[in-house]
A and B are shown apart, each in its own frame.
Chain A
């Protein structure tokens, strides 16, 4: 942690300095030490001072008033021109680097600061460990009046672009801590402004929902420009869950890649579910008609059959692995594929496709030719609710028969060659 600090030092001087200014202004209102403050601000503007000195001074002055404060300030002012980062603040302890001392010293005072500006508490260990000077200063900045902070927004944005990646991550960590504590508290307005001000360096991080591993709550980050009351946050979480599941369904349902929008997707999903249900019904009908002439031998069945491995594809792919193993069934599969291809492309009701497939299969199979007419009637009379009236059927069926038969020959030739 201390290793990273010197890198931060040149970059964040200005920002912390500005924050210090704002913070001290705020504190000046509270403690009304005007002359003292003017002196300090004069000092601020004059030199590029060690940040930690001011910070310490500011913190100490924030913590309590009185003589001890003044004496501390005297010490820090004397230390200002000293480039060495040896901190000699006895009551705050000795640390190697300026920032380190700041961080260390900021630990306890950070808590107090935290207590001043927050309603909930942040564990001091976490604060000392994770929060660097910059994060600390940001918190203090958020406690300051928003107008003054917004004036510095431009400068801060410029500076923050120079900031290293890990720094922004640290900020994010500190923001997340803030976020956890704040999401349950009433200080939601502060979140908004704080986020707007940090948009320069964490804008890309803001674009996703961050969930911290706290057992009680799901913590959501409010995005820039969005409302932050608990209702809209919960609503947003719900909406994102729904869209996540819609994306998953989009992968599941074939042919949904081009469709955008929830309504269209839902329509596709509904159609697909309906088609699957109709396929089940049709297959059970087929089993009802075909099975009687067979005796069931389960051992034979398991020896013969080979289930296709893919689960989500439409009929065609399912048939492919079967083809290799069952050469007597070779006739069926090209028809199957042709029919399903035709069926899908036809754009007719899905119910027609499955029934078409049945008829194709029965027509081409040498064994079950007598069933063709039989199935014609049963398909119409049986599950009537989903099958359309027979009159338009016949015409379409004739066309499909021709297509199927002409294609069958080509397909079977191709498959044989494979």
Chain B
């Protein structure tokens, strides 16, 4: 059940899909490219920018929306000293991405279609706005859209789709092209089927297990994202309160002589500390986005399972229908009425029908049975094909998921490490500043006078004749200081 983009001379040009690539370890390309589809070998894809536009919408009202610039460029290596060729570009808005995705969902129901970044910001912590036009949100969405395109482009099946290719290369007229494929009808029926309630008699255990797993994953990632948002909120609070130290220390330093410098500089470090949380949390958003991608993937997995259920159900229905017909035929042939039927009743009441009538009925049934058998065979093939292709994609997805999420966890750890390093830096600096308090030499003249006049006896050089005896240890009294100065207080 390949794409309707059947016409494939052009598609064939894009080439065969070679799944294994021999990627040089020293190339820094994303792992999707490593897997290597011919599309990606042929072109680089970027979602480079985002821009605001205003225009009339479908109900003829002014609206502001964001468009994203898609850049494509032939992926040849650039010769030494040469500049890369200018990319082809076109603009797309989010709704067009949605259209593309719906098309793919309908056309490849056995494939786990990569998700789009969220339409509206969810799982936000308070500082992040939930506003779609907020620049940070737009930026993250840009990244998410690029990711989506790369995922599709690196998929062995999806990357060959013509509509997808045109999405990347033809700005005008793409929408009409998609609609012309007539996928909308399929979309409608698909929606209906997805929401339909039916029971499958012999569910495929693997798909059942997959559906459960997908639901579990959905639950746990949602929870994780919620907790993360709350933790982020709290962390933000802790860091920002430290900024108050900065302010107070600064004010305090103004009234202190000896402590002033130390307090002031420590205060600056507190300000730095407070400010550092913004970057930290922004980085964490990447991690949250990675989790969200897989959260949304669970929906795609679920719909593949659902589609399988539907096909299975249709197969069972067809088989059931066939069995029913066969039975009717048998009854008709043997004359026994096992199954109640109106015909049977009336013939009982009103007498047997004529031989001709029976034969014509038999013939009709025969025909119907044949058709039924065809239908069952078709459905069976469809089902088997679906299971085969779906399961292939599911295995691919599982591997991808394990790898990606593991990377995500690792990058989370790296983020934590970075955060700790910053913390160590700031507090070490602050400690140095605090250290300076009291150790500072001041220009206080009184202090200098004091230090001259009242040298404590054991500070005198051993050869000093006025020195009576050395202070041995803390339990003996120090000898008398000279008569002239008896300081009451300790040096300032």
Q: Do A and B come from one complex?
A: no
